[in-house]
């Protein structure tokens, strides 16, 4: 391999890209070319860090133990640097590196690496900044992964209610989009802007499909009854909010994320009415948590547009009239106003996430 090829690799890498050609030539002398066979291990998670590497050719997989197996974190391709984090932080390897296909890497050992850093304050500062950024990116990626995992898990859990209810998975998909859109719009409204930040918007998207999770606890005879429910059956049905909130409470106690606290409020209070005549607690006005007031509007809007065991689908115009009539009675008046101002956008969500049969119903 020519020195010019090595220099090219260095120049393309953000760790070394700011160095002069002369300095790069100087540094290149400290690196050694190593060939790895497919399947070979460059280092194991937990090893002490003795060197860092730049991939010249081939592919190296960085992976970490997760539960019983290994999870692939990253694929290192020509030009990529790996093994530098543990080397610089003088900590054990946080992941393993396996060679995927026949690979050639440039290796620099710890002593040599610190020697090239020694006395070069600018280079040292540059490397520190890059490492901090990488740690931050790794952290954000891990957080995103966890968030995606529990979002998917919660949505799958919410879909269980489909087995017990005539509501479809599409209803859950639509309500999460209505809730997010409504929360976004309210975040620009002077009355609500201080209560709604990006986390609120993200959380309501994640937990709104959980609103009826408690229906799994309601007997079939009540859940699937097509005729009018008796007073006793109505009372049983009403218990779905506290049953669902019980599930969220367990999650909340175990993992104190704001997501689950919002999930609790949504499951518990989504049938409260602004005028205080709802259930389970008869909360009135702004005593009803904001997320539950948003949820209630989104849920009822979708239920009115859809055919249910107990009712046909209503036309869009009729639904809009009902929302107007229920402004300040069932629904928070300001939230209703915001929704009505942009009602076409909510209708678009309905159309986008509905199957054609349902769409036929609302175009009447
Ligand atoms: Fe409900
Ligand atoms: Fe619902």
- Digit-coded pLDDT (tens) for 256-279: 888 899 999 999 999 999 999 999
Please tell me the number of the ligand nearest to residue 299's CA.
2
Please tell me the number of the ligand nearest to residue 270's CA.
1
Residue in the block written with tokens 């952290």:
139
Residue 148 confidence class, pLDDT cut points 50, 70, 90: confident
- Residues of the chain with pLDDT > 70, as a percent, come to 95
Question: Is residue 153's pLDDT more than 90?
Answer: no
Determine the distance separating the centroid of ligand 1 and the alpha carbon of 219, expressed in angstroms. Answer: 15
Element (H, E) at 3: helix 3-11
Determine the distance separating the centroid of ligand 1 and the alpha carbon of 266, expressed in angstroms. Answer: 9
What per-residue confidence (pLDDT) applies to 116?
A: 86
Determine the distance separating the centroid of ligand 1 and the alpha carbon of 244, expressed in angstroms. Answer: 9
Beta strand 96-109 with 69-76 is unpaired
Written as one string, the DSSP assignment of 317-355 is: HHHHHHHHHHBTTTB-HHHHHHHHHTHHHHHHHHHHTS-
Question: Is residue 363's pLDDT more than 60?
Answer: no
**How crowded is the C-beta side of 261, counted as CA atoms within 13 Å?**
7
Residue 359 confidence class, pLDDT cut points 50, 70, 90: low
What per-residue confidence (pLDDT) applies to 10?
A: 79
List CB contacts of 140: < 8 A, sequence separation 6 or more: none
Q: How far apart are the first and last CA of the chain?
A: 73
Catalytic annotation on 215? Answer: yes
pTM reported for the whole predicted model: 0.69
Distances (CA, A) of 339 to 93, 247, 303: 52, 30, 16
Determine the distance separating the centroid of ligand 2 and the alpha carbon of 171, expressed in angstroms. Answer: 7
Q: d(Cα 298, Cα 292) in Å, to the nearest integer?
A: 10
CATH topology of domain 164-362: Hypothetical protein af1432 (1.10.3210)
Q: d(Cα 27, Cα 131) in Å, to the nearest integer?
A: 19
Question: Is residue 55's pLDDT more than 60?
Answer: yes
* Residues counted in the chain: 364
User: Where along the chain do its domains lie?
Assistant: 3-118, 164-362
- Digit-coded pLDDT (tens) for 332-348: 999 999 999 999 999 99
Residue 174 confidence class, pLDDT cut points 50, 70, 90: very high
Q: Residues of 160-181 as b/e, b for ≥16 C-beta within 10 angstroms?
A: ebbebbebeebbbbbbbbbbbb
Question: Is residue 357's pLDDT more than 80?
Answer: no
Residue 165 confidence class, pLDDT cut points 50, 70, 90: low
- Quick check: helix, strand or coil at residue 52? strand
Residue 15 confidence class, pLDDT cut points 50, 70, 90: confident
Q: According to the per-residue pLDDT averaged within each range, which of 5-14, 109-118, 145-154, 183-192 is highest? A: 183-192
CATH of span 3-118 = 2.60.120.10
Q: Provide the 8-state DSSP code for 280.
A: S
The arithmetic mean of pLDDT across residues 137-159, rounded, is 82
Rg (CA), the chain: 29
List CB contacts of 211: < 8 A, sequence separation 6 or more: 175, 244, 266, 267, 270, 295, 299
Determine the distance separating the centroid of ligand 2 and the alpha carbon of 146, expressed in angstroms. Answer: 26
On whether the CB atoms of residues 315 and 359 are closer than 8 A, the answer is no
- Digit-coded pLDDT (tens) for 277-287: 999 999 999 99
From 102, 185, 215, 352, the catalytic residue: 215
Please tell me the number of the ligand nearest to residue 298's CA.
2
Please tell me the number of the ligand nearest to residue 158's CA.
2
The alpha carbon dihedral of 324, 326, 328, 333 has a sign of negative
Question: Is residue 40's pLDDT more than 60?
Answer: yes
Of 9-18, 233-242, 320-329, 351-360, the range with the lowest mean pLDDT is 351-360
- Residues of the chain with pLDDT > 90, as a percent, come to 57
- β-sheet bridge partners, residue 32: 107
Higher pLDDT, 208 or 11: 208
Return the closest-CA partner of residue 173 out of 360, 358, 361. 358
- Digit-coded pLDDT (tens) for 60-119: 999 998 777 788 888 999 988 899 888 887 889 989 999 999 999 999 999 998 888 887
Determine the distance separating the centroid of ligand 1 and the alpha carbon of 238, expressed in angstroms. Answer: 8
Q: According to the per-residue pLDDT averaged within each range, which of 64-73, 131-140, 232-241 is highest? A: 232-241
Return the closest-CA partner of residue 212 out of 285, 154, 282, 275. 154
Residue 296 confidence class, pLDDT cut points 50, 70, 90: very high
Cα 244 to chain centroid distance, Å, stands at 21
- β-sheet bridge partners, residue 35: 104
What per-residue confidence (pLDDT) applies to 360?
A: 55
What per-residue confidence (pLDDT) applies to 364?
A: 46
On whether the CB atoms of residues 3 and 25 are closer than 8 A, the answer is yes
Do the two domains 3-118 and 164-362 of this chain adopt the same fold?
no
């Amino acid at each position: 391999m020519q020195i010019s090829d090595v220099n090219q690799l260095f120049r393309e890498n953000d760790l070394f890209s700011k160095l002069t050609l002369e300095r790069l030539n100087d540094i290149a002398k400290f690196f050694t070319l190593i060939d790895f066979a497919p399947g070979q291990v460059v280092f194991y998670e937990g090893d002490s860090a003795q060197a860092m590497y730049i991939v010249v050719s081939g592919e190296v997989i960085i992976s970490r133990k997760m539960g019983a197996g290994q999870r692939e974190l990253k694929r290192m391709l020509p030009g990529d640097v790996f093994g530098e984090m543990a080397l610089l932080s003088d900590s054990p390897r946080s992941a393993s590196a396996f060679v995927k296909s026949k690979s050639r890497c440039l290796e620099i050992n710890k002593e040599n690496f610190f020697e090239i850093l020694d006395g070069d304050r600018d280079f040292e500062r540059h490397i520190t900044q890059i490492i901090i950024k990488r740690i931050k990116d790794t952290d954000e990626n891990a957080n995103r992964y966890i968030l995606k995992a529990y979002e998917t898990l919660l949505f799958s859990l919410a879909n269980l209610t489909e087995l017990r209810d005539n509501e479809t998975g599409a209803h859950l998909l639509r309500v999460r989009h209505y809730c997010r859109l409504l929360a976004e719009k309210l975040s620009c409204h002077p009355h609500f802007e201080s209560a709604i930040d990006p986390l609120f918007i993200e959380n309501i998207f994640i937990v709104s499909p959980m609103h009826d999770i408690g229906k799994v606890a309601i007997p079939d005879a009540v859940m699937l009854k097509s005729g009018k429910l008796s007073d006793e059956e109505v009372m049983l049905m009403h218990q779905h909010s506290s049953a669902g909130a019980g599930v969220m409470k367990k999650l909340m106690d175990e993992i104190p994320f704001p997501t689950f606290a919002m999930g609790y409020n949504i499951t518990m209070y989504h049938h409260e009415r602004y005028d205080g005549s709802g259930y389970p607690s008869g909360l009135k006005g702004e005593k009803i948590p904001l997320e539950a007031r948003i949820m209630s509007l989104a849920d009822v809007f979708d239920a009115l547009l859809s055919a249910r065991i107990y009712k046909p689908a209503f036309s869009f115009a009729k639904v809009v009239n009902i929302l107007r009539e229920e402004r300040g009675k069932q629904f928070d008046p300001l939230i209703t106003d915001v929704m009505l101002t942009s009602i076409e956008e909510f209708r678009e969500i309905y159309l986008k996430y509905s199957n054609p049969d349902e769409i036929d119903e609302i175009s009447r």
